Amino acid sequence: MAASPDSKVFRATTTAPVNIAVIKYWGKRDAVLNLPTNSSLSVTLSQRSLRTLTTASCASFYPAQDELILNGKPQDIQSSKRTLACLASLRSLRREIEASDSSLPQLSAFPLRIVSENNFPTAAGLASSAAGFAALVRAVADLYQLPQSARDLSRIARQGSGSACRSLMGGYVAWRAGSLEDGSDSLAEEVASQSHWPEMRAVVLVVSAEKKDVPSTEGMQTTVATSNLFATRATTVVPERMDAIETAIQNRDFPAFAEITMRDSNGFHATCLDSWPPIFYMNDVSRAAVRLVHDINRAVGRTVCSYTFDAGPNAVIYYLEKDTELVAGTIKTILGEKSEGWEGPFYEPLKNLTAPGVALDQVDPRTVELLKDGVSRVILTGVGEGPVSVDDHLVNEKGDAIYH
Ligand code: PMV
């Protein structure tokens, strides 16, 4: 016998990926709606390496206030305007479909219990908010059986964390800044699928930061208000780069993709340095990673790798699968066995490596020392798909959270 809606726990579970921008989002034209001053573009990273798993559930008998449990810790949703904004938008879409079909259970009136966990340690220093908000929005949308597309839902995820809107899709994803005041044209769209250019790989060099970084929202506001370089970046530099990198992706032109990526990361960090007071996200180890990439490209005689840095010191180095030995192989030889993370599905081609791809005398010795001391872990990954609906629920049939 089917459970009555009064005792039934309704559930939906999804995974969502991390994304790393190659054209950076930096600057808000509306801080409440999270509307950006410029468009951005990212690569969705494989969930075989990094993913958030989220179950959204609702039941009439749940405690009245919505609950959110992240990595085993209950969160105070009421103090998170961003989470509240996402949930309110999703509920109102559910209410619309309930209003047009009275046979549907009134899920919009039930309290929610959302349980979420990352498969990577928070200590890795990776911004998990993009995957987190994308998973939350996707899971609740699935629970409510909303007909909206990923593109439509990206408007909602954007209100949680700007970069989250790009984690609702796989492959190569653009976030169009839009120009409307209500933000309805500020959304993400897939520029190319994962299968269009599946050879893209990334190695993340996890660099420990001595000091906590300036949070991205605060950093953006300072840059918009005080940097002279910023205005040109938003109005001229980024629009040109968006066009150029989309062409590079369509043509699978790695050298063009790589140069635009490196220049955009450098330009973004230049506007941070140009802010008042200046903001530094990169440190000596980050700069050593920059030098390494240029040294490898020079030694090989073509552009085989590119770096990019978000609001923190970790380096993300993109390369193509065929150049794994030249790039990841050289990094592995430099870091040696001490560093963690040389494992997982993307490790296979490196397993039997006997020599570095690039002779170490081609790399500045100070670079080697800084990286050896400063990189604690690597994450080997590659381009991947968008959120996937799964049955691996984190809430059981009775409504209790399951902790792994
Ligand atoms: O989504 P937020 O508010 O965490 O901002 C992300 C900003 C960068 O990671 C630096 C750039 C980007 O486009 O992801």
Rounded to the nearest angstrom, the gap between the alpha carbon of residue 311 and the centroid of all alpha carbons in its chain is 12
Domain with CATH 3.30.230.10 in the chain: 10-193
Decide: 37 and 234 in contact? Cβ < 8 Å: yes
| Percentages of the chain per state (helix, strand, coil), in multiples of 5 | 40, 20, 35
Whether 127 is in the pocket of ligand 1, judged by its Cβ within 6 Å, is: yes
Classified as helix, coil or strand, 195 is helix
Question: pLDDT at position 124, please?
Answer: 58
**Which residue among 26, 137, 165, 314 has the greatest number of ligand 1 atoms within 8 angstroms of its CB, and so is best to mutate?**
26
Decide: 339 and 375 in contact? Cβ < 8 Å: yes
Ligand 1 atom 8: the closest Cα is on which residue? 310
Decide: 379 and 342 in contact? Cβ < 8 Å: no
When pLDDT is cut at 50, 70 and 90, the band that residue 126 belongs to is confident
Return the CATH fold of 200-382.
Alpha-Beta Plaits (3.30.70)
**Which residue among 165, 216, 261 has the greatest number of ligand 1 atoms within 8 angstroms of its CB, and so is best to mutate?**
216
What is the spatial distance between Cα 231 and Cα 39, in angstroms, rounded to a whole number?
A: 14
Whether 161 is in the pocket of ligand 1, judged by its Cβ within 6 Å, is: yes
Whether 23 is in the pocket of ligand 1, judged by its Cβ within 6 Å, is: no
- Phi, psi angle pair for 102, to nearest 5°: -75, -10
Residues 214-229: pLDDT tens digits? 899 999 999 999 999 9
Nearest-CA neighbor of 375 among 326, 325, 333, 335?
335
What is the spatial distance between Cα 327 and Cα 333, in angstroms, rounded to a whole number?
A: 10
Cα(216) to centroid of ligand 1, in Å? 7
Ligand 1 atom 6: the closest Cα is on which residue? 163
At a CB cut-off of 8 Å and minimum separation 6, what does 228 contact? 274
Domain with CATH 3.30.70.890 in the chain: 200-382
User: What would the two tokens of residue 375 be?
Assistant: 């990189």
Give me the chain's average pLDDT, please.
94
Whether 25 is in the pocket of ligand 1, judged by its Cβ within 6 Å, is: yes
Whether 265 is in the pocket of ligand 1, judged by its Cβ within 6 Å, is: no
6 pLDDT above the threshold of 90: no
- The CATH class for the domain spanning 10-193 reads alpha beta
When pLDDT is cut at 50, 70 and 90, the band that residue 123 belongs to is low
Give me the residues paired with residue 75 across strands: 68
Question: pLDDT at position 66, please?
Answer: 98
